[in-house]
C-alpha cells in the first residue's frame, strides 16, 4: 500500500501529464479547425452567426402561445403575460 506522500507525488505527476495531454489535444483541435476553415473559406460570421443556431438574424423567436380572445402572442420566454399567468399553458399553444 502506498504512503500519503507517494500518492501525492503520483498525483502531481498525473496532473502534469493531464495538462500536457490537454495542451496537445487542444493544439491538434485548433490545427484541424484551421484546416477546415481554410478548406471551405469560412469566415467568423459563418461560424458564429445566430442563423446557425436556428434564429433569424434579428434574434427574434417565434411565438409559442396565443391568447384566443385578443390574438396577443408570447414566445414563452421572459415574464409571462397576465393573460397566461397561473393558467395551463397547453391551452394556449399555437
Grid coordinates belonging to 6? 507517494
Measure the CA–CA gap between 10 and 4, rounded to whole angstroms: 10
Angle at 92 between CA 88 and CA 94, to 5 degrees: 145
What is the reported pLDDT for 58? 63
What is the reported pLDDT for 3? 95
What is the reported pLDDT for 52? 47
pLDDT at 21 over 60: yes
State mean pLDDT over 61-68.
92
pTM: 0.46
3-state secondary structure of 77: coil
Grid coordinates belonging to 88? 395551463
Amino acid at each position: 500500500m502506498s504512503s500519503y506522500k507517494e500518492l501525492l507525488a503520483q498525483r502531481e505527476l498525473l496532473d502534469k501529464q493531464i495538462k500536457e495531454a490537454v495542451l496537445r489535444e487542444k493544439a491538434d483541435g485548433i490545427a484541424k479547425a484551421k484546416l477546415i476553415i481554410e478548406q471551405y473559406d469560412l469566415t467568423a460570421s459563418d461560424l458564429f452567426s445566430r442563423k446557425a443556431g436556428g434564429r433569424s438574424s434579428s434574434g427574434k423567436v417565434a411565438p409559442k402561445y396565443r391568447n384566443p380572445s385578443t390574438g396577443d402572442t408570447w414566445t414563452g420566454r421572459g415574464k409571462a403575460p397576465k393573460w397566461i399567468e397561473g393558467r395551463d399553458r397547453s391551452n394556449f399553444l399555437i
